[in-house]
Structure 1
């Protein structure tokens, strides 16, 4: 009965604790390496959203703006454990861009990626996480992902649907978010294209 109660009411807390422990262990492992960042950003996305990443995100960020991006289908090392590839990509990049959709929220691997990225955010106290919503997602759908809800209450994020006809402003705000803190100061995280939740 206790096990059933624990699973039913606390399973998301237990899963979060598990991922947080994994992220902590990976962080300890990578703290000693301190290698320069190989990429400007790691793109965390679900494979169902790959067409948007390939058609919209890559041409703008890599083609027009010249950023070096890390994508799992292109840059992960073959034969290496997926979890190691994920953490190496996140810690080997200055920022992590999470492209969030309903499919993203359902994905176990995407969940691992955002957990490791958010742990790095809170551990290093640096602006290393950028959230892009590809679709409007009601608060109720985010309820199991209370860590993400907590992030959304503290940070501004980008929304592709709300960008509407102002896509150039969307890309400019993303470019500003990708800059290092030294480039534009700590207090100008300028993702003001959208409203907060």
Structure 2
């Protein structure tokens, strides 16, 4: 499985792709950061991010895209920019019929380090070790994007089978859904569906 991870942001949008499967060593495919000048118009910045994500999708040809799930912070301006960049990534993937998974930062940290409160250095160190890299990816946005991709590959099982089913359905003409790491799905109609097994 080949996954493109996106750590959304307006000034720096991290992109990282890995390939592998649960229980086996992972390989780095590519890593980088899209940068946009803070003084530029918001529309122009989003266009740059979209163009770069589209280029990566063309070159990487991922089976799925993993995007950091935006959550509320004290800095509303930062949250808005992150949400806008996140939406661009989701749209780019959905346009191609690719399944999109949204993972929270704590889920990614727990998956990579075993600690949901790990700091960026700990995440970067584990990403470097897991991908057998000579140096830690920088800036942190790049390492975070790789961590998202690794997290998605490792979650495997039901979620990956769901992603494959959605991709197959979209190739048949239906619109893909966006899978939330919590087990909920948001369908194109906006309806929220609980995919978790009944208890």
Tell me the TM-score range normalised by the shorter chain. Answer: 0.3 to 0.5
Indicate the structure whose relative CO is greater, using CA pairs within 8 Å and at least 6 residues apart.
2
Task: Indicate the structure (1 or 2) with the bigger Cα radius of gyration.
Answer: 1
Q: Which has the higher helix share?
A: 1
User: What's the TM-score, normalizing by structure 2?
Assistant: 0.35
Q: Which has the higher strand share?
A: 2
